[in-house]
């Protein structure tokens, strides 16, 4: 088949690819097209619907923003007040059989007294270490010990982060942290502990928005609908990239020539499937991928439950689980985000099982609701294997163990989907690998961006991902710098108003 030609080709219709497409449409500087292997937009920010009508995002996503441009685009896509619910984050850590308000390190006052002592003693020791230290922490574990000390490290930070990343904290760098981990104030912690107080809403997502309909995926379908539809091509899968020939080859035998390529495919997949004129360079970047780019898989598991939302759950949003009484590191009360994430109460559904199967076999008769739902996330790696056949059962038992559900609760819907890759790990060798790979690709006008295109978790939220695409286009067409990619701490520490969406 003959090749088509465009000035700019975008691969992927997730937030990054749509950010690139919105900027291309706005600038109107040359021809462009966007391709995606799926049947619709959303990528890793899409939403699935179970047969029974429960919605589950493909991970724990909420909308909060560091960028006015992102806000402009989202408002254009979903402009009505009724399009959104706005929430105050109500988040806890399950530890020592109590709910510790988030962030854990600022709220040890609710822990048993002996654990409060361990945490405060560890923080005092850490403060002394910081005074004496002549160098920077060399990995995430050293950062934890210097900033928080032994008590918090052992009670929360080490076990929780292993459950999230599926690698030990000693195998992770600490440059990625920025605003994602709150460094505790010893004075505040001691004061709150003595006064039995808790510290409130720290962090950029202390308030957040969620779409009323369609889950997170509904946002990106709406953004895609604001673009010229003839420029969007779905069910197109990239098989290879000819860097020197500036040509992408697709699964249907067709090809597209380009001047600039914005790829949101995994950087590892791109490197494996790109052809470079210098074989030695290709070997070098493939070695960098193998040695420096680490990822984990993520199992997203959802359950739909019949009944009124219990008071013990209340207005909780998402919850963290560092201990080994549950396989998941995070649970989201997904029905709290929007009532439309569950079937309406008058929908009749049969009970699939009691949470604890030992309670017997439920009647197969379909009954009305109301309904609520939980969504859990479980990580997997070669260091942290997961049994695909039993993880659903283990997750439900973990929900019982942590008092998210009761043994007699009626489960009416299941959801389980594994994502590989799930998290781009901030490994010790990541930055050196990226410094080797990205410049070689950019010599051929290939901009690899996005959650797995950039491989930078610190700019991997939806607003970041969107702007990575938009800024890549601005660099390719206008020569402007990519602030988000190059300065994560700077963009995460402020509101960014420089770029706006204009007609």
Would the pLDDT of 122 be above 50? yes
Half-sphere exposure (Cβ direction) of 244: Cα atoms closer than 13 Å: 7
CA distance 432 to 292: 7
Comparing CA positions, the residue from 214, 240, 169, 211 lying closest to residue 63 is: 211
Answer for the pair 301, 376: CB distance below 8 angstroms, yes or no. yes
User: Region 286-290: what's the mean pLDDT?
Assistant: 98
Question: How confident is the model at residue 326, as a pLDDT?
Answer: 98
CATH of the domain spanning 3-45+64-82+213-293+427-492: 3.50.50.60
Q: For residue 327, is pLDDT > 60?
A: yes
- Cβ atoms of residues 245 and 270 within 8 Å: no
- Tell me the C-alpha to C-alpha distance, in Å, between residue 106 and each of 126, 191, 483: 15, 10, 31
Mean pLDDT of 325-352: 97
Say if residues 51 and 196 touch (Cβ distance below 8 Å). no
| Ordered DSSP codes for 48-104 | EE-TTS-EEESS---B--SBHHHHHHHHHHS-SGGGEEEEE---EEEETTEEEESSG
Among the listed residues 298, 302, 278, 313, the one whose alpha carbon sits nearest the alpha carbon of residue 406: 313
DSSP strand pairing (294-306 vs 318-320): unpaired
pLDDT mean over 124-146: 91
Task: Please give the share of the chain, as a percent, with pLDDT higher than 90.
Answer: 80
Higher-pLDDT residue of 184, 349: 349
Residue 412 or 107, more confident: 412
How much is the average pLDDT of 95-102?
93
pLDDT over 50 (residue 503): no
Q: Which helix (H) or strand (E) holds 471?
A: helix 462-478
177-195: average pLDDT: 74
Q: Say whether pLDDT at 1 is over 60.
A: no
DSSP-based three-state secondary structure for 127: helix
- What residue ranges do the domains of the chain occupy? 3-45+64-82+213-293+427-492, 105-195, 296-423
Does residue 203 carry a pLDDT above 90? Answer: no
- The angle at the Cα of 89, spanning 499 to 102, to the nearest 5 degrees, equals 115
Mean pLDDT of the chain: 93
Query: Cα separation of 190 and 119, whole Å?
Result: 10
| Per-residue CA distances from 52 to 55, 308, 349, 356, 410 (Å) | 9, 18, 7, 21, 14
pLDDT band, very low/low/confident/very high, at 269 (cuts 50, 70, 90): very high
Instruction: Kindly report, residue by residue over 220-264, the tens digit of the pLDDT.
Output: 999 999 999 999 999 999 999 999 999 999 999 999 999 999 999
211 pLDDT above the threshold of 90: yes
Q: Check whether 488 has a pLDDT greater than 50.
A: yes
**Exposed, middle or buried, 464 (CB in 10 Å: 0-12/13-18/19+)?**
buried
Q: Does 282 score more than 80 pLDDT?
A: yes
Q: Give residue 232's pLDDT.
A: 98
Confidence at residue 186, expressed as pLDDT on a 0 to 100 scale = 82
261 touches 241 (CB < 8 A): yes
Q: Which of 49-63, 315-329, 350-364, 365-379 has the lowest mean pLDDT?
A: 49-63
pLDDT on residue 250: 96
Give the pLDDT band (50/70/90) at residue 185.
confident
Q: CA 299 to CA 391: how far, in whole Å?
A: 9
Cα–Cα distance between 43 and 52 in angstroms, integer? 23
Distances in whole angstroms, Cα of residue 440 to Cα of each of 20, 187, 291, 308: 21, 48, 17, 56
Give the predicted TM-score (pTM) of the model: 0.93
Q: Where does residue 42 fall: left (phi above 0), alpha (psi -120 to 50 degrees), or beta otherwise?
A: left
Please enumerate in sequence order all residues whose Cβ is within 8 A of that of 86, keeping only pairs 6 or more positions apart, or say none: 207, 208, 209
Q: Specify whether the backbone of 227 is left (phi greater than 0), alpha (psi in -120 to 50) or beta.
A: beta
> What is the band of 205 on the pLDDT scale with cuts at 50, 70, 90?
low
Q: Between residues 259 and 128, which one has the greater pLDDT?
A: 259
């Amino acid at each position: 088949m003959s090749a088509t030609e465009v000035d700019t080709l975008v691969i992927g219709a997730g937030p990054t690819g749509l950010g690139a497409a919105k900027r291309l449409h706005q600038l109107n500087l040359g021809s462009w097209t966007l391709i995606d292997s799926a049947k619709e937009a959303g990528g890793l920010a899409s939403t699935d619907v179970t047969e029974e009508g429960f919605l589950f995002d493909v991970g724990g996503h909420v909308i909060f923003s560091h960028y006015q441009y992102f806000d402009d685009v989202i408002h254009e896509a979903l402009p009505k007040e009724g399009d959104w619910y706005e929430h105050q984050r109500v988040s806890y850590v399950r530890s020592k059989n109590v709910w510790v308000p988030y962030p854990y390190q600022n709220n040890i006052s609710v822990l048993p007294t002996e654990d409060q002592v361990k945490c405060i003693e560890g923080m005092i020791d850490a403060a002394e270490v910081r005074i004496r230290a002549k160098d920077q922490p060399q990995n995430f574990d050293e950062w934890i010990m210097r900033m928080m000390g032994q008590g918090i490290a052992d009670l929360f930070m080490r076990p929780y982060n292993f459950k999230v990343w599926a690698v030990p904290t000693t195998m992770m760098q600490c440059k990625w942290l920025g605003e994602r981990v709150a460094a505790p104030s010893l004075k505040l912690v001691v004061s709150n502990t003595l006064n039995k107080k808790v510290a409130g809403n720290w962090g950029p997502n202390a308030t957040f928005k969620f779409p009323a309909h369609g889950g997170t995926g509904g946002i990106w379908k709406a953004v895609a609908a604001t673009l010229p539809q003839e420029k969007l091509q779905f069910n197109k899968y990239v098989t290879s990239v000819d860097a020197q020939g500036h040509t992408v080859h697709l699964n249907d035998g067709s090809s597209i020539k380009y001047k600039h390529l914005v790829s949101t495919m995994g950087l590892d997949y791109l490197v494996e499937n790109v052809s470079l004129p210098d074989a030695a360079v290709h070997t070098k970047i493939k070695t960098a991928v193998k040695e420096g780019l680490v990822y984990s898989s993520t199992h997203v598991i959802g359950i739909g439950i019949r009944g009124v939302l219990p008071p013990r759950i209340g207005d909780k949003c998402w919850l963290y689980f560092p201990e080994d009484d549950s396989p998941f590191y995070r649970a989201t009360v997904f029905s709290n985000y929007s009532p439309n994430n569950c079937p309406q109460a008058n929908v009749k559904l049969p009970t699939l099982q009691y949470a604890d199967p030992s309670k017997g076999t439920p009647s197969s008769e379909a009954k009305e609701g109301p309904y609520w739902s939980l969504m859990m996330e479980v990580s997997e790696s070669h260091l942290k294997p997961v049994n695909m056949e039993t993880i659903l059962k283990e997750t439900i038992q973990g929900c019982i163990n942590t008092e998210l559900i009761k043994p007699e609760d009626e489960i009416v819907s299941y959801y389980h989907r594994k994502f590989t890759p799930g998290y781009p790990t901030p490994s010790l060798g990541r930055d050196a690998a990226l410094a080797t790979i990205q410049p070689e690709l950019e010599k051929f006008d290939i901009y690899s961006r996005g959650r797995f295109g950039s491989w930078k978790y610190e700019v991997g939220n939806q607003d970041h991902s969107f702007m990575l695409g938009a800024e890549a286009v601005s660099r390719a067409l206008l020569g402007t710098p990519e602030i988000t990619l190059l300065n994560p701490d700077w963009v995460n520490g402020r509101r960014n108003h420089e770029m706006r969406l204009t007609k």
